[in-house]
């Protein structure tokens, strides 16, 4: 059993084109397992290809990210990493189902809803494609790797308030879809909702995963997740960790390209918040991941 596990990274992305193998070997050398996450068809197939090079410790997750349903630019400040233009892709159910059945694929995603650049037409398309991927998870018998993001400056309701009908809260909309469709369970990665959002996912038997942003100072003038409060409340056996590499590098590496081995800093922060020994937290998180992904 490894010491750490990064359940959501993108060493299959162009940011690691020159040294991806070295990054993976560095992680494995420091007793850290990882799951490479696809965001569209090309990166999903690349995640599978990479996983098959390693007999243990490297796995794949395949899916279509909501931002890849249309072409749009995402600047460095928005993604906490190198900016990029998303390529529009038409979802192909059969193609993704075939990839989902690969032995190295341990989850479906990342899929979900992203309301950072919100418009009604985009939101509706995202909901339809997310629903299709929930169906694929059920057909393949594998958990979901969910991406959820709001633009809190667009939310009209204050922190802690109940959003009105027709709200812009992607967390609420994801939960609604999961309630309407049978699902195989899963994890919400890089969680940054409020406690009521976390409670909804926990009630659905989902895990909550935290990323490097739990090590950052709270942002001013934005509705921001109260990470200490939420992490204290969530049972340790429902917590996972992810780097979202190459994005969201944790302190003390903030501003650098992130990589899986830095997941230890996230574990360290969770242990600090919970007031528990770091080895105990690390061991439980690995056990959680192995239970969810059957690895």
- Give the predicted TM-score (pTM) of the model: 0.91
Residue 148 tokens, joined: 């959820």
Q: What is the pLDDT of residue 183?
A: 79
pLDDT at 166 over 60: no
How does pLDDT run across 207-266, given as a tens digit for each residue? Answer: 999 999 999 998 765 666 899 999 999 999 999 999 999 999 999 999 999 999 999 999
In the chain, the percentage of residues whose pLDDT exceeds 70 is 87
Q: What is the mean pLDDT of residues 33-37?
A: 99
Residue 67 in contact with residue 131, Cβ under 8 Å? no
73 pairs with which residues across the strands?
A: 85
Cα distances (Å, whole numbers) of residue 48 to 11, 71, 101: 12, 25, 11
Range with the poorest average pLDDT among 24-38, 138-152, 256-270 = 138-152
Report the chain's terminal Cα–Cα distance, integer Å: 10
Task: Tell me the C-alpha distance between 61 and 147, whole Å.
Answer: 13
pLDDT at 161 over 70: no
CATH T-level fold of 4-293: TIM Barrel (3.20.20)
Range with the poorest average pLDDT among 24-33, 133-142, 149-158 = 149-158
Instruction: Give the list of residues 6+ apart from residue 278 with CB closer than 8 angstroms, or none.
Output: 267, 268, 271
Range with the poorest average pLDDT among 135-144, 163-172, 242-251 = 163-172
Q: What is the pLDDT of residue 120?
A: 86
Q: What is the pLDDT of residue 158?
A: 41
Question: What's the pLDDT band for 151 if we cut at 50, 70, 90?
Answer: confident
pLDDT at 71 over 80: no
How does pLDDT run across 179-198, given as a tens digit for each residue? Answer: 999 877 999 999 999 999 99
Residue 205 tokens, joined: 């038997």
Residue 207 in contact with residue 186, Cβ under 8 Å? yes
Residue environment code for 203-224, b if the CB has 16+ CB neighbours within 10 A, otherwise e = eeebbbbbbbbbbeeeeeeebb
Residue 207 in contact with residue 172, Cβ under 8 Å? no
253, 216, 187, 46 alpha-carbon torsion, rounded to 10°: -30
Residue 5 in contact with residue 32, Cβ under 8 Å? yes
Helix or strand or coil: residue 224?
Answer: coil
Q: What is the pLDDT of residue 70?
A: 81
Q: Which of 237, 249, 247, 252 is nearest to 285 (CA)?
A: 237
How does pLDDT run across 49-59, given as a tens digit for each residue? Answer: 999 999 999 99
Mean pLDDT rounded to a whole number for the chain:
91
DSSP tag of 30: T
Q: What is the pLDDT of residue 83?
A: 56
Q: Which of 244, 249, 238 is nearest to 281 (CA)?
A: 238
Q: What is the mean pLDDT of residues 131-144?
A: 97
pLDDT at 160 over 80: no
Task: Tell me the C-alpha distance between 131 and 109, whole Å.
Answer: 12
Q: What is the pLDDT of residue 222?
A: 60
How does pLDDT run across 170-179, given as a tens digit for each residue? Answer: 999 999 999 9
Helix or strand or coil: residue 23?
Answer: helix
Q: What is the mean pLDDT of residues 101-115?
A: 98
């Amino acid at each position: 059993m490894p010491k750490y596990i990064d359940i959501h990274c993108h060493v299959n992305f162009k940011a690691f084109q020159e040294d991806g193998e070295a990054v993976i070997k560095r992680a494995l050398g420091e007793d850290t397992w990882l799951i490479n996450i696809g965001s569209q068809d090309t990166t999903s197939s690349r995640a599978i290809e990479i996983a098959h090079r390693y007999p243990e410790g490297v796995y794949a997750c395949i899916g279509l990210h909501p931002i890849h349903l249309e072409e749009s630019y995402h600047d460095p400040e928005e993604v906490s990493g190198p900016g990029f233009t998303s390529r529009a892709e038409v979802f192909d159910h059969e193609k993704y189902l075939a990839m989902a059945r690969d032995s190295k694929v341990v989850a479906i995603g990342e899929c979900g809803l992203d309301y950072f650049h919100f418009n009604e037409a985009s939101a509706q398309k995202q909901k339809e494609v997310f629903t299709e991927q929930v169906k694929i998870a059920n057909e393949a018998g594998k958990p979901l790797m969910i991406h959820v993001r709001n633009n809190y400056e667009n939310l009209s309701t204050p922190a802690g308030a109940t959003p009105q009908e027709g709200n812009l809260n992607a967390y609420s909309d994801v939960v609604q879809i999961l309630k309407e469709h049978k699902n195989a369970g899963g994890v919400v990665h890089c969680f940054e909702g409020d406690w009521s959002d976390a409670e909804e996912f926990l009630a659905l038997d989902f895990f909550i995963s935290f990323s490097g942003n739990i090590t950052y100072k709270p942002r001013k003038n934005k509705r921001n997740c109260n990470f200490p409060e939420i992490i204290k409340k969530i049972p340790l056996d429902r917590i996972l960790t992810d780097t979202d590499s190459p994005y969201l590098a944790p302190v003390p590496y903030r501003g650098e390209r992130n990589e899986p081995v830095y997941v230890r800093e996230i574990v360290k922060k969770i242990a600090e918040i919970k007031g528990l020994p770091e080895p105990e937290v690390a061991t439980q998180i690995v056990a959680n991941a192995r239970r969810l992904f059957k690895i």
